[in-house]
Structure 1
Amino acid sequence: MPTGHKLSRRTALAAGAAALAAPTIARAQALRWRMVTSWPKDRTGPGISARRIVERINAMSGGRLQVDLFAAGEIVPPFAVLDAVSNGTVEMGHTASLYWQGRIPAAGFFTSVPFGLGPIEHQAWIELRDGQALWDELYKPHEVRAFLAGNTGPSMGGWFRRKLNGVEDLRGMRLRVQGLGAELYARLGAVPMAVSAGDLLPALEKGSIDAAEFLAPATDLETGLPKYASFYYAPGFNKPNGASELMVSLPAWDRLTPDLRSIIAEACRAEHALGLAEAYQTNAVALTEILGKYPVTLEAFPRSIMDAAQAASAELMVELGGTSSLASRIVESYKTALQGLRGWSALAADMARANTRAHLPAR
């Protein structure tokens, strides 16, 4: 019995020591990362997507990877996200690739291209063709990796203080527009202005810009744009897609276990699907509110502007393809996806329009 008593005590002590040690081991393995964004906190669309991605990662990792979220300006300005992730100031960033157009000429293809792929087509290019591999190659010199991480859907054409009758009305117009859309409008005679999401409303209110293209009705309404411009234009030919990106520092990514990498990737994929569905829901509601509450008219761009924009877009694609061998491969891959997917997309759109007409009330 004494021997048995000693063994039991030894076992109990060992079990107690293990129980005390377990939390210490778990704490030692836990990682704490920071994510900066280009958005005001909980901004409809991308701001909410950023928060939900963080919540998913924190929950699915069981505490082994904890991410703290910081809105634009809390650590770095909205257009400094790439630098912050690239130089290791933070481990993650939620933003849009079009912001890096000036530094990385082909970056805009991973958000939106004028007259280009729509949201589902774009996702097919990234995930089912060679888009992700090209994206990885493009960002590797900057020590970051990116994933599709939310989508606000097709954008509207923007808010204008005066009605447009033709291309001549764009000449000299100070227009808030970014990415490849800025290049396009510059070719049409407008003056593109880089204004962050948080500064957009004051700029339009004070008249430091004449027009503003941001996203779609839900985000535009939340931002307050209907208060200071009366003409709401469609289609958003310069931004037919609204993909956000999650950037991860490559050195930080390489230190992760395979399961934590999968958690980040799947958190992004889930948000891309939910964000796009939410965009369709919230934009439908917001457009009805805008047209019912504000002295706003919904306008179609004049044919002359659409024709000039399409011609300028074709020229821009050629020039972008000539900036580097990698850019050339990205342009060709993108154009191949567009040609391969557009036939089905057009047919699906025709079917959707037919179904809509079938359910309209008789006049």
Structure 2
Amino acid sequence: MRVAFVSMYTHHTRDTPAIRRQHRLIQLLTNTDHEVVVLCSRWWDGEHAKFEQNGIEYRAVDGDFSTKRFVFKLPFALRKESPDIVHVPNSPARHARAVKPACRVLRIPMVVDWWAESDDDSAGDCKSIAKKADRIIVPSETVKTTVREYGASEAPVTVIPDGLDFSLIESAPVEAEFDLVYSRHLDEYANVETFLLALAELRDRDWSAAIIGNGSAAADAERTARDLRIRDRVSFLGDLSDKQRVAVLKGAHVFAQTAEREPFATNLLWGLACGCVGIAEYQADSAAHELVEEKSRLPGTRGTLVSTPEELADEIIVAGDMEERTIDEAYEQYDYSEMLEQYLTCYRGAISDYGLF
């Protein structure tokens, strides 16, 4: 199978959860017998049209990150590569919408990997993508509901959760310095304040906490910790390598998930797999509840859903009576290898169905 990934932006030029998910899938596919090509804007030096890095072949559709030129030249690039299937992120929506006519002419199925919409994506473009994609992949039931609201039919929408490297969790050391952990990119949706307010409720108890991640909201979070008079007990660790982050998670007892926007709560997933008790604050635009609420969580998962900092504090106290763990074997089913097989199954189904028309 030859898979063409169409994305003007790659991990070289943008760092977002959706692009990290896409790059991870590209890496996994590159290590199989399948062929992969990435159609993107030229991020490398020089004028050559193709560039290979770490076994991944990149082809420049344009050289200056111009949406207009990218959209115009894309059909010619697709024709030249002649893939069996085209994989495109839902955002930028204008790019995804432009892919479908080219795929229709070339008789190639288009799979859309739908993570989240950006502020620049129009409702019209999103509706067009949802209705015309041959298959849509989403990371959670929460995102699936959004896609259905844009007009996608039930049949072509497949939930493939974000994954994790379970072998890393098995092999990583245990850093037992912290009892409670929050981990996420600290942007405007991080909502670290809820976690800090809960910790302030427990000021008279014995605990240590770590916040992993960096971003525009980091300074405000540190200021809040000082204002609540708990700064000396909260360590802001910044960005950590995967191995360092897993070591902290394996040593912690509770993972707090309070972010306001999460198409899939990847960090919570890692925390649960590392044996943490997961406590998630309900947010309308977050899928975190899918990992801890009774109706959808894995059997044996230790975690719960809360609505306020006070409830979060209460659940931290309850978690103190639970045994400490450094790994939960049940989460091996979220390993990247399983995620890859689900994508391949979706690709094969799209190719098979397309051949019927």
Larger Rg: 1
Structure number with the higher helix fraction is: 1
For the criterion TM > 0.5, the same-fold answer is no
Q: Which has the higher contact order (CA 8 A, sep 6+)?
A: 1
Structure number with the higher strand fraction is: 2
TM-score with structure 1 setting the length: 0.28
